[in-house]
A and B are shown apart, each in its own frame.
Chain A
Amino acid sequence: MIPPSPPPPERRRFRVWDAAAAIILLGLAALLVRNILLNMQDAGLHPGFAFLFDEAGFDVSESLIPYSPDDSYARVILTGLINTIVLAAVSLCLATVLGIVGGLVSVGPSSAGRVLASGYVELFRNLPKILVLLVFFVVAVNGLPPVREAVSLGPVQISNRALYLPALEWHPMLWIPILSLPLGAVLALAWRRWAMARFAQTGRPVPIAPVAIGLLAGLPGIAILLFDVPIIPSVPEVQGFDFEGGIRLSLQFAVMAAMLGLYHGAQITEVVRGGIQSVPHGQFEAAHALGLDRLRTMRLIVLPQVLRIVIPPMNNQYVNLIKNTSVGIAVGYSDLMSVVGTVINQTFRPLEMMLVTMGLYLILCLAVTSLLNRWNAALRRREATS
């Protein structure tokens, strides 16, 4: 038998022209670099990153790591980066919850709910985020009382400078319950695997969720009792001109988180709605015919299919959300972008600073994307094997 002949190799054409294109690109780049060098020379600067270790000399409005104006530019950039990451993480959770609730309501049984959901989506889809941010900020600054007359919602204090939440007094012993959480998670996963195998063998259902919740909540609880970890609530109270104790969230942070949560929540609502509506109606009917109740239909039939459709656009939303944290500069939240703006004004080193900033944003976005892509791939593999 004669094997089918391999396709003819693609003729390698235009290699010369390809090299010419590369040379032209490189030449352009060289021209730009030459101009930059000349311009910087005129300004008396040498390109390089050594300035990052000079003293920054300016303060930031909030910082999660110890920072003082005597620290280096590198440290102030790190401070901004951490603020960006925290803001992104908080608003990501907010947007996801809002989006899922919104999506469920917009396909829900009540037409009043559907009207509300579509109004929400339309409103935020047609407004620029910076406008939404500034409106929230103005309303919060003008509408909320000053610190001395803060609104109390139980232990939560709201003023036009900051939000104060109750927290735990920090103690090194608190590491014990915190570290017992991942242990509980591992044990819960092991239990799930065992229970599934058991169910497959005997056909008798073994409870999974109650045991898992018990493990996750119980282990830290036992650890606290066993090691006598001090649990001291720290409630914000007026001391002089400001509150003491608890966690202080600046108004800028709160407004940014609210804006990002609502703005992307509206877009995630659309994503979730589209995902649920793309599940054929027959799937619901078949599940109903099998005797599954509403909750089980959702959990076992609809949700796995929705998840598969929804992950790629969610990925997109999360990346956009991370990028949009940079709008914080408009209300003076000390995120990466606004810190970098100040550094550029002080040092006149826009080139180096923009390279660093863009690199950091790219890394953040790539990290989230690759995480979600991996999850997506895992889901697809599981689907292929089952």
Chain B
Amino acid sequence: MTGASTWAKELFATPLAALLTLVSGAFMTWLGWLALSWLLFHAVWPWQPAGLCAVRTGLCWPFLFEKTRLILFGTYPFDLQWRALAASLLLLALAALTGLQMIGRTRLRVRAFVVIWVSGLGFAVLLLSGGVLGLSPVPSVFWNGLPILLFLAIAAIAGAFPVGVLLTLARDQGAYPVLRRFATLYIEVARGVPMLTVIFVGVFVLPLMLPPGTYIAPVPAVLIALIFFHGAYFAEDLRGGLQSLSRGQREAARSLGLGYWKTMGLVMLPQAITRSLPSLVNSIIGAYKDTSLVVVVGIHDLISTARMSFNDPGWRSQALEAYILVGLWFFASCAALSAIGRQLQKDRETERGRVSQE
């Protein structure tokens, strides 16, 4: 009772607070009303005829029952879609494992981790493309929906990480000025242009750069472009971590007789990566969300398959349902990534507290 009354007091403590409460309360009520009438009052329920969706303005359940599979897997051959599903689950498992590793729930050795990643990605590609082990081949144009989104996002992030590390190392040394300048220029340019321009370079310019007569499909071309684009962002995050380490670390490693690669690989990079994990997770979330931009060059990720689903005559007015389904997926997956980021931030703060107490 007292809790409720103090709460009410807080909501209307000053004229300003009262005004804010009223305005935002009214706004939220309006949004809630819109949501309720869409979800419940004007909805077409699963047991009602689908034809009703064209007249009613609310959520159309029959559409979701009919089209969710199309939105998830697009034009991947219908009776082979178990492979697309398996590949998606495999990729999700890789992502989940990495998340657990980041927050310290699993403690795999680096080598084991790399082996798991490489074999996992390879196996996912194998499942999607087929052509061996009696799996019938499926060209990459048909890898639609969830699997292509996950594959492009996860493979690009995994590939961009070593690129970022190499760029950071090139930028953070003095022995090779040419390499340092090149890395700096590359990072600044990549961070100053829109991702779409880089995707365009991948699709249109990259094929020109290959020896005459070679062909590269759009999916690998975009993947290469994404790897080099995200690499620049990761490099910037890692540089922050590397610069926050004290000089003494490097000097101590050197005086122990470690060479450059051992100093970096055993002493500097592990600490720098741990320190830059929160900002790396932010960049990863951005990279994951931006992967959906590939629809512009005709790769059918979730957003594009959502478009396919309401392009059927008869389902024209169901665009919102399709997009909200995709939105729910993105919201859930990004929220999971953000949770990892928050956990990392918390770990870091408690660690800092412990260090300052000592």
Contacts and interface: CB of A to CB of B under 8 A. Distances in A.
Contacts of B179: 18, 21, 25
A350 B205 contact: yes
Interface stretch (A175-183, A205-213, A359-367): A359-367
Contact of A116 (B18, B27, B195, B295): B27
Nearest to B182: A25
Interface of A: 10, 13-14, 17-19, 21-22, 25, 32, 35-36, 38-40, 42, 105, 108-113, 115-116, 122-123, 125-131, 134-135, 138-139, 142, 319, 323-327, 329-330, 337, 340-341, 344, 350-351, 354, 357-358, 361-362, 365-366
B320 A138 contact: yes
Given A39-B212, A134-B323, A18 B178 contact: yes
Contacts of B82: none
B174 interface: yes
Contact of B334 (A109, A126, A135): A126
Interface residues of B, number: 60
A83 to B, nearest CB: 15
Contact of B192 (A329, A340, A362): A362
B261 interface: no
B317 A18 contact: no
Contacts of A115: 24, 28
Interface string B212-244: 100000000000000000000000000000000
A110 B200 CA distance: 47
B204 interface: yes
B312 to A, nearest CB: 15
A110 B22 CA distance: 9
A318 B307 CA distance: 30
A119 to B, nearest CB: 8
Nearest to B170: A21
Given A35-B209, A126-B335, A361 B323 contact: no
Contacts, number: 174
B137 interface: no
- Indicate the member of A40, A128, A324, A330 with the most B CB atoms within 10 Å: A128
A25 B186 CA distance: 13
Contacts of B174: 10
Given A116-B27, A139-B320, A357-B197, A126 B176 contact: no
A116 B204 contact: no
B320 A130 contact: no
B21 A337 contact: no
A32 B209 contact: yes
B14 A40 contact: no
A102 B211 CA distance: 53
Nearest to A23: B178
Return the 10 tightest CB-CB contacts between A and B, nearest first.
Answer: A350-B204, A110-B20, A126-B334, A109-B17, A326-B194, A323-B194, A113-B20, A22-B178, A128-B289, A116-B24
A113 B23 CA distance: 8
Interface stretch (B84-92, B122-130, B247-255, B324-332): B324-332
Contact of B201 (A125, A138, A329, A354): A354
Contact of A105 (B24, B175, B290, B338): B24
A123 to B, nearest CB: 8
A365 B188 CA distance: 11
Contact of A362 (B18, B193, B208, B307): B193
Interface string B297-327: 0000001000100000000010110011011
A327 B323 CA distance: 17
Contacts of A340: 200
Contacts of A35: 208-212
A273 B51 CA distance: 48
A268 to B, nearest CB: 16
